[in-house]
Amino acid sequence: MTATWRVLRPFLIAYLVVLLLMTFLETWLVYPIPPIERGDWQPQGLAFEDVWFEADDGTKLHGWFVPHPQAKRAIVYFHGNGESVGDNADLVTYLSDALEASIFIFDYRGYGHSTGRPDEAGCIADGLAAQRWLADRLGIKPSEIVLMGSSLGSAVAVAVAAEQGAQALVLKNAFSRMTDVAAYHYPWLPVRLVMRNRYDSLARIGLYAGPVLQSHGTEDDIVPIEFGRRLFAAAPTKEKRFLEFADIGHNDPAPLDYYRELAAFLDRVSKHPSESKATAREPSHHDGG
């Protein structure tokens, strides 16, 4: 036993050191905040309202509100963990046009111009505050707003829908739990025991009974499609659809057919009495170009 311990001890020590290092680096791994200089904060041709608002804990958050002159719906967009508002001008422009929607995109705490440091509870609080801000801005209920999230943003959107409701939940490259994805990438680490950022969407989506549209690429090697399918299966609503795209990876753009399918889905599930409220207040524009 002594000889065996002498052989195993260096490997055990090395394993524990790596485990401690990964635990220490968890925030950096889960939230790889891009440098603010990378973003385009004055995009040409995008008419937007520069917005500052606060989460319940007083954290100051930043976003863009992009109104549509004849909006059929209002959308809060939750971006992924490796991007910021300043990376998404083209996407917001396209979404607004393709979906005939007024869009509010914001940065989680620590991202872009938002203050603070990200963690699971904080990012969810930021999402709740963003939905409430848009509801107040348009004079509608939070539950009349479409929530649209990508990757990590999908997990935040699910949490917000579970607590405040949504007209529809649109999820791209979503996962069942963050711990499931981490265990897939690091099967030799006890991530399900030690991770602080868990994002258990599998449990939370059971608290939301509204429409769900999910999409996922078959070649996603960051969030394998099986985790998206698990989440979709757990959604209790009968008004749900899963779009599977062959040969599409995690960071690849969605095909154009996706936006046509999404627009048709939202048209079908929309609560038409709220449509007239989507432009109820005249916005103060900030012309980004």
Instruction: Give tens-digit pLDDT for 110-134.
Output: 999 999 999 999 999 999 999 999 9
pLDDT at 15: 72
Beta strands per DSSP E along the chain = 47-54, 60-66, 73-78, 101-106, 146-150, 168-172, 212-217, 240-245, 286-287
For residue 89, pLDDT over 70 is answered with yes
Q: Mention the CATH class of domain 45-280.
A: alpha beta
The average pLDDT across 158-182 equals: 97
Sequence-separated (6 or more) residues with CB below 8 Å from residue 207: 162, 163
| CA separation, residue 204 to residues 149, 162, 200 (Å) | 15, 6, 6
244-279 pLDDT, tens digit per residue, is: 999 999 999 999 899 999 999 999 998 543 333 333
Q: Residue 4 is inside which H or E element, if any?
A: helix 2-24
Q: How far apart are CA 156 and CA 26, in angstroms?
A: 18
Q: From residue 24, how far is each of 20, 21, 30, 35, 195 by CA, in Å? A: 6, 5, 11, 21, 10
pTM: 0.89
> Mean pLDDT across the chain, nearest whole number?
90
Q: Looking at residue 1, what is its pLDDT?
A: 64
In this prediction, residue 175 carries a pLDDT of 98
Q: Answer yes or no: are the C-beta atoms of 214 and 245 closer than 8 Å.
A: no
3-class SS at 140? coil
Please tell me the distance from the alpha carbon of residue 64 to that of residue 244, in angstroms, as a whole number: 30
Question: What percent of the chain has pLDDT above 90?
Answer: 80
